[in-house]
Amino acid sequence: MAVSELPPGFVLDQPVDAALPPGFVLDAPGRLEDAAKSTAAGLASATAGTLGMAGDARSLLSAGTDWAGGKLGAAPDKVQAFKDYMAKAASMTGTGAVLANAPTSRQIKDSADPIVSPDYQPQTLAGGYLKTGVEFLPGMLTGGPRGLLPRFVADVAAPAIASETAGQITKGTSAEPYARAIAAIAGGAGASKIANTMAEARAVKAATPALADVKSEASNAYDTLTARNVATPLPQAALNSLADDITTTLNNRGIRPSNAKSIHDAVAEIKSPATAGAADVADLVAARQSIKGQLSDPTANKAGAFVALGKIENAIEQNSPGTMAKIREADKNWGAMRANEALDKKIARAELNAAGEHSGFNVGNKIRQQVKNLLNSSEAKYLSAETKADLEKVVRGTWTSNGVRAVSKLFGAGGGLGMLAGGAAGYHEGGIGGAVAAGLAGRGLGRLDAALTAGRATRAAQNIRLRSPLGQQNPLVLPPMSNPLLSASVSALLARPQQ
């Protein structure tokens, strides 16, 4: 406020405290000036805090010893004697000597003469965030495997924003220093964990073959094997002998045409090569593929198929060594493709169903339902144990996603009566604005639940392809991960009250 704008009756030669009305600031800086001062103060504070870290640790340790001694009922002189003894013992080591003589951050501040005092109090909200953010810049010095930008976000921006937000909420209360420190720890550790998750997701995506590539790999392998085995002739007697052997074994085991006609018909076809008078190993491969279809039959045909497949595969390997290994690899790629397609169809159906109900806000729950249906269907018999475990995680969720889901339902993310109840609760607390805020919060959390669920389903699909033979050709190499505990520790140090 300029002098010309001073209130009536204001006398310049009065004591300032007596003359100024409540909340009046004689020379309040503008926003840009406050931002500049806050930044400079943050730099001064960060420098003093970094250089005075050892001294602050000594001071905090001393205060902690006084507190513990008081709680234990020890006399002050006894506590001081203990502290003197420990200081003398520590000074005999190099680290202890440094700790004993290191200045505190307050001593550094008092001895310095910066352009802007590190104790400058920002006059605007933006200034507060700027100063706190600059004070956390030393977090960049901790190094780590991440690049500069991820380190800035995880070690500076996230803990600083969390700390300042907590400070603004508890401003002027005795809880403010503790709130700032706890929020900084949570922000640093949380951001570091998120950064690790994102880095892992990028690595997985880069190493995962596309669904079309897995399908192409399997199809090309089958075509190559067929072409090669067409050129590997067999005497007609070999086909006849194999079919007769299988038929005899089936009959001896009680798998007769009367109770397993399909498998007996399929075995009889082995005697008829694709090209009359030109039997080859490709005919055995085709017979194997045909009989594999009997495995889904719950009758005696299934048991007969297992018997027949064992004998056919032995015949293939005897007449074309190495073929069965390639066939099994192609089968695994094809199976991965089919499992991935089945999951993709379920997710697409879930999204379509959700779009027709509540404008798509229930998509997370629909995905869980569809994946559950897949696990309970006959298709699940061909899923690996690892894939089933991944899909069960989609259905069951994590404690984080389940918590988000529960709160979103509380605020009516699914619409209907839930939305009405959530809006009513918001209205009761904050009128129309509260009702609107409750509705928006519910929908936002509903979207987050959907994103988390879809993310787990996507990861399950990626894992299916990663476990395929094609996926195993490019092993997953995860980037170096940062330590969330270290990030939390650094954030705690930077958020400490400077002594």
Say yes or no to pLDDT of 358 above 60: no
pLDDT at 421 over 70: no
492: its two tokens = 């705690």
pLDDT in tens, 284-306: 999 999 999 888 888 899 999 99
Q: What is the mean pLDDT of residues 159-176?
A: 88
Answer with the residue of higher pLDDT: 99 or 201. 201
The confidence score (pLDDT) of residue 26 equals 47
The pLDDT of residue 420: 43
What one-character DSSP code corresponds to residue 468?
S
User: Mean pLDDT for the chain?
Assistant: 80
In terms of pLDDT, which residue wins out, 376 or 101? 376
Say what the pLDDT of residue 493 is: 72
Q: Please determine, for residue 468, whether its predicted confidence score (pLDDT) is greater than 90.
A: yes
pLDDT in tens, 362-396: 788 889 999 999 999 888 877 889 999 999 999 99
- Closest by CA position to 214, among listed 338, 345, 385, 344: 338
What would the pLDDT profile of 230-277 be if each residue is shown by its tens digit? 989 999 999 999 999 999 999 999 999 999 999 999 999 999 999 988
pTM above 0.75, yes or no: no
Question: How confident is the model at residue 279, as a pLDDT?
Answer: 93
Question: Which two three-digit tokens encode residue 181?
Answer: 């420190």
pLDDT at 415 over 70: no
- Is residue 427's pLDDT more than 60? no
Confidence of residue 498 (pLDDT cuts 50, 70, 90): low
pLDDT for the residue numbered 409: 66
> CA-CA distance, 112 to 45, in Å (whole number)?
11
**Mean pLDDT value across residues 324-340:** 94
Q: What is the pLDDT of residue 417?
A: 41
Burial of 355 (0-12, 13-18, 19+ CB in 10 A): middle
Q: Is 229 a residue whose pLDDT tops 50? A: yes
Residue 273: Cβ within 10 Å count: 20
Cβ proximity of 238 and 266 under 8 Å? no
Task: Give me the sign of the Cα torsion angle 59, 60, 64, 70.
Answer: positive
**What is the average per-residue pLDDT within 153-176?**
87
pLDDT, position 323: 93
- pLDDT band of residue 278 (cuts 50, 70, 90) is very high
